[in-house]
Structure 1
Amino acid sequence: MSIRGPQALASLEEAMRDIRREEDELSKRVSRAAERASKIREHEAELFRQLARLRLEPAVQSELDGRISAAEARARDTLKAHSKDVSRAEKAISALDAGRAELTEKRASAIALLEEQQAQLKALTAAQASKLAADPVYAAKRAETEELDRIAEQSLRKTEQAETDREEKGRPYREDPLFMYLWEAGYGTSRYKASNLIRYFDGLVANLIGFAKARPNYAMLNEIPLRLREHAERQEANVSAAEAELAALEVEAVDAAGGKPLRQAIAAGQENIEALDAEIARLEDERDAAAEVLHTLAQGKDPAFEGAAAELAAALGREDIQTLLAEARRTRTGQDDTLVAQIDEARARLREEEEESREQRERLKTLAARRRELEDIQWEFKKQRFDDPGSSFKEDRLVGDLLNDFLRGGISAASYWDQWRKSQNWAPGSEWGAGYKSTRSSQRSNRSSPWPPSGGGFQWPDSSFGGTGSRKGASKGGMSGGFGGGWGGGSSGGGFSRPRTGTSGSRKQGGFKTGGGF
């Protein structure tokens, strides 16, 4: 069962919301745990004060009580300030999430409007196709383009055959160490530099292996493919120029039929979506920074809170306090036993809180990393225009089992994204390019910029003006896309292209741009 592009992006967005909700909830839990730990220490301090009143001389008791109370008071004041800081950080994240959700809704509306405009323009181009096909100027230009395409294809085949010959027929030469020694030394050419003695021995070797006859043959094997490749590239440039002229005629015909306002509206829509994507990315970066602040606060790692907690812990860990507790354990009085039991219970609760908090902090780190990876995937998804309505994915497990595997850490982000790329397909007519389609587009997919060279924001659907269907290799990361643009660069897996503020500089805009790499 396949899944359409917009549905796929919506599923990723839902997973992102789930991650953020869990991340926020864990941050709150960790923060509450840190506050509970502080309060447990305060309670432990009060128990020690009570124990001191029972067992110590008034003077010693007063000194110890004053020392503990001072540390406890500072910890209590710091806890109040810490709670306010945590509350502010949580509100900041909530505001950023609300802003991002609003922009996401605006983007969905903009894409829906763009899809309507594309459909109108597509219908208009189809209506003009038969009229333009009967135009003698257009017919002549199309015939010329087809002939140039045929010549370029033949040139490419000759080049590939010459390159195959270079590999196969040149192997015996490359595997002969004596020949390669003389070849690399430039023997028999003006670049050969050697002393008289070396020249003498090299001459013996050359006569022994017949180098004088072999060298020009090997040179020819290497030179022919280079010259043919240059010729093939010139023929390819001729085809590209002819296709651009053909496309210009198509634009002129559709504009004459009233298509120019639609094209301009589509271009404006694309710019709007690019701006929304950039703003969403900016808010994501701000949220990431705000989440780091909240995580630090939640874990009690801010200097004031950490220092106050350490001071109280140190006060309760002093040798005279531990001696007081040890002596209370050795006696058998009811009040001592009750206080000692309560102190032991408080310390046990503190250990439990710290252990639970440690596990939650590790989970929080994992969630933060997974959120960033999913942001990377969404960035690439939109940059490649995989959320185009004409885009679909034959593997619905991408938003089911495979998504769960990724979120649990069973597969890496790069592997998960690779599964998306391999599963993606374009519906017939959903890919946009010049009306005339070269039969060699799979070999030409390394061209990073589609027609028109000047931008313009609209390219013709495959089926218009007698197009021959979708280009070969379109879903392989070459010239593919929708919504009148958005060709993404090819991808071989590995790192993501999404830059992050503070790590890779300011974010580059993706969206409906042509080209790009991943």
Structure 2
Amino acid sequence: MSIRGPQALASLDEAMRDIRREEDEISKRLARSADRVSKIKESEAELFRQLAQLRLDPTVQSELDGRISSAELRAREMLKSHAKDLSQAEKAVAAGDEALGTLTAQRAEALKELETQQGELKALANRLADTIAQDPAYAAKRKEASELTDIANQSMAKTEQAEADRDAKGKPYRDDTLFMYLWDAGYGTSNYRANNFIRYLDSLVANIVGFIKARPNFAMLNEIPLRLREHAERQIEIAKAAQAEVEALQTAAIDAAGGKPIRAAMEASQKRIAALDAQIVTAEDQRDEAAKTLGVLSQGGNPVFESALAELATALGREDIQTLLAEARLTRTGQDDTIVAQIDDARVRAKDEEAETREQKERLKTLAARRRELEDIQWEFKKQGFDDPRSTFGEDRLVSDMLNDFLRGGISAASYWDQWQRSQNWNSGGGANNTRQRSSSPWPDNGGSTFNWPDSSFGGGGSNSKPRPPTGGFGGGWSRPSGGNSGGGGFSRPRTGSSGTRNSGGFKTGGGF
């Protein structure tokens, strides 16, 4: 079962909300744990005071009580200040979540409006299809564009074959260490630089490997693909220019039939989406900073708070207090035993809290990393226009099993994004592995061109023509989609300190869409 672009993006948005929600819950648990540890320390201090009253003379008891009380009072005051900072950080994260929720909802609404506008423009294009197809100027220009595309495709095919030959037939040369030594040194060319002794030795080596005869063949293997690629790229540019002329005729026909206001509305929707995307990036980065602050504070990371707790811990760890506890363990009185047992219990509870805190800290770190990776994926998703209403994905597990694997760390962000690219298509035409850019025109294919249109219902093909797989046309076999990460490369989402705008992407408007 396939899924559409907006639905896929909505699933990623929902996963993002789940991550943020779990981050918030863990931060709150850590804050409660830090608070419990401080209270346990206070309780332990009170138990030592009680033990001192039973076992020490009044003078020593007063001195010990004063040290503990001073540290305890300072910790209590710092707890109040820390709680205030923590509350402010929680509010900042909540405000960030609310802002992102609002922006995401606004973007979804703008995308929905764009889908409606696309439908209106497509309906108009369908009504005009037969009329424009019969126009001699349009038919001639479209035929020319199709022929130029075929030429470009053939040129690229020859280039790829020459490159394959270079790799295969050039391997014996590259595997010959002596040959490659002379080749890299430029032996036999004007670039060769060596003294007379080295020249003499190199001439002996050249005779051994037959370099003089072999060199032209290797040079030709390397040169031909370069020349062919230059030629193929020129043909691609010529074909693109011809296609632009076809799209200009299409746009003129649409505008003449009343499509200009629709296209203007689409452009406005596209600009609104682009502006919202920039705001979302800024809001995400602001929320990220607020989450970092909350994470530090919820883990007791306030320096003053840590100092106060450390002072209390130091007071409770003094040698005379530890001696008092050791002596109490050696006696067998009911009151001593009860207090000692309570102190031991407090310390066990503190260790348990600290162990759980360590686990929660690691989970929080993992969630933060996964959130940022998902932000990267969402950015690339939008950048390539995969959220376009015409975009589809043949693999629905992308928003179920694969998404869960990614969130659990079973697959990397690069691998997960690669799966999205492999599954993406336009209006179910083009095969499961088609990752080409979306067409910028509302006009369907006529069945006689190799351009990658969203469908193939226009002109000679009729409304019932079957979609064709890609044939190496624009955005297909000629180049990788921009921003692709199928090889495990990095993502292009801007982070804090950047402008927060896209370098490319957004919905194209030339020639209709």
Q: Which band: TM-score by shorter chain?
A: 0.7 to 0.9
Q: Deviations over 1:285-333 (max 9, x none)?
A: 1111111111111110110110000000100110111111122222222
Match of 1:131 in 2: 131
Maintained 8 Å contact 1:159/1:228: yes
Deviation at 1:50?
A: 1.7
Counterpart residue number, 1:296: 296
In 2, Cα distance between equivalents of 1:170 and 1:64: 85
Do residues 490 (structure 1) and 484 (structure 2) align?
yes
- Corresponding letter in the other structure for 2:95: A
In 2, Cα distance between equivalents of 1:108 and 1:477: 27
Structure 2 counterpart of 1:472, from 470, 473, 491: 470
**Cα offset, 1:208, TM superposition:** 7.7
2:406/2:413 contact within 8 Å kept: yes
8 Å contact kept, 1:75–1:308: yes
Residue 423 of structure 1 deviates from its aligned partner by 2.5
Q: How does 1:298-317 map to 2 (within 5 A)?
A: 298-317=298-317
Report the counterpart of residue 350 of structure 2 in structure 1: 350
Match runs of 1:197-236 below 5 Å: 215-236=215-236
Q: Which whole-Å CA distance do the structure 2 matches of 1:476 and 1:191 have between them?
A: 40
Q: Distance in 2 between matches of 1:42 and 1:362?
A: 27
Distance 1:201 1:479, change over 3 A: closer
- Indicate conservation of the 8 Å contact 1:477/1:488, yes or no: no
SS state of the match for residue 388, structure 1?
A: coil
CA displacement at 1:347 relative to structure 2 = 1.7
Cα distance, 1:190 vs structure 2: 4.1
Contact kept, 8 Å, 2:186 with 2:192, in 1: the verdict is yes
Q: Provide the rounded CA distance (Å) in 2 between the counterparts of 1:155 and 1:394.
A: 31
The separation in 2 between residues aligned to 1:64 and 1:46, in whole angstroms, is 11
Percentage of matched positions with identical amino acids: 66
The answer to whether residue 496 in structure 2 is matched with residue 501 in structure 1 is: yes
Partner of 1:263: 263
Distance 2:201 2:505 in 1: 65
Q: How many Å apart are 1:345 and its aligned residue? A: 1.9
Deviation at 1:365, TM superposition (A): 1.7
Note the C-alpha offset of 1:266: 0.8
Q: CA deviation at 1:53?
A: 1.9
Considering only aligned residues, what root-mean-square deviation do their CA atoms show, in Å? 3.3
Task: Establish whether residue 416 from structure 1 lines up as the match of residue 416 from structure 2.
Answer: yes
User: Residue in 2 aligned with 1:433?
Assistant: 440
- Whole-angstrom CA distance in 2 between matches of 1:32 and 1:119: 53
TM-score, length-scaled by structure 2: 0.84
1:18-72 deviation line (CA, Å, top 9, x unaligned): 2222211111111111111111111111111122122222221111111111110
CA distance in 2, matches of 1:334, 1:476: 88
Instruction: Kindly provide the amino acid, as one letter, of the partner of residue 499 in structure 1.
Output: P
- CA contact 1:89–1:290 (8 Å) conserved in 2: yes
Partner of 1:12: 12
- Aligned partners of 1:475 and 1:244: how far apart in 2? 14
Task: Measure, in 1, the Cα distance between the counterparts of 2:365 and 2:406.
Answer: 15
Q: In structure 2, do the counterparts of structure 1 residues 189 and 279 end up closer, same or farther at CA, with 3 Å as the change threshold?
A: closer
Distance 1:60 1:243 in 2: 95
CA contact (8 A) 2:111 2:273 kept: yes
Describe how 1:379-398 pairs up with structure 2 within 5 A. Answer: 379-398=379-398
1:146 and 1:8, CA in 2 relative to 1: closer, same or farther beyond 3 A?
closer
8 A Cα contact 1:425 1:475, kept in partner? no
Match of 1:483 in 2: none
1:401 match: 401
Judged with a 3 Å threshold, the aligned counterparts in structure 2 of structure 1 residues 319 and 84 are, in CA distance, closer, same or farther, namely: same
The one-letter amino acid of 1:490's match is: G
Structure 2: gaps spanning 5 or more residues: 431-437, 509-513
Cα distance change on mapping 1:349 and 1:465 into 2, 3 Å: same
Residue 449 of structure 1 is matched in structure 2 by none
Is contact 1:432–1:462 with CA below 8 Å preserved after alignment? Answer: no
Amino acid paired to 2:267: A
Structure-2 separation of matches of 1:66 and 1:12: 57
Match of 1:378 in 2: 378
AA of the residue aligned to 2:399: V
Q: Give yes or no for contact 2:4–2:389 (8 Å, CA) kept in 1.
A: yes
Amino acid at match of 2:394: K
Give deviations 1:229-271, integer Å, cap 9, x for gaps: 3333333222222221222122111111111111111111111
- Aligned residue identity for 1:263: R
Residue of structure 1 equivalent to 2:367: 367
**Residue 477 of structure 1 contacts residue 490 of structure 1 at CA under 8 Å; is this kept in 2?**
no
Change (3 A) 1:343 1:183: closer
Q: Distance in 2 between matches of 1:156 and 1:65?
A: 87
* Residue type at the aligned position of 2:307: G
| Alignment deviations for residues 468-496 of structure 1 (CA, whole Å, 9 cap, x no partner) | 9567179998599xxxxxx7543324232
201-210 or 89-98: which moved more?
201-210
Distance 1:339 1:10 in 2: 58
Which residue of 1 is the match for residue 78 of structure 2?
Answer: 78
Structure 2 vs 1, CA of residues 76 and 470 (structure 1 numbering), >3 Å: closer, same or farther? farther
Residue equivalent to 2:511: none
Where 1:308 maps in the other structure, the secondary structure is helix
Q: Say how many residue pairs are matched.
A: 490
Letter in 2 for 1:141: K
2:433 alignment partner in structure 1: none
Contiguous gaps of at least 5 residues in structure 1 = 443-458, 481-486
What SS is found at the alignment partner of 2:494?
Answer: coil
CA distance in 2, matches of 1:53, 1:219: 96
Letter in 1 for 2:310: A
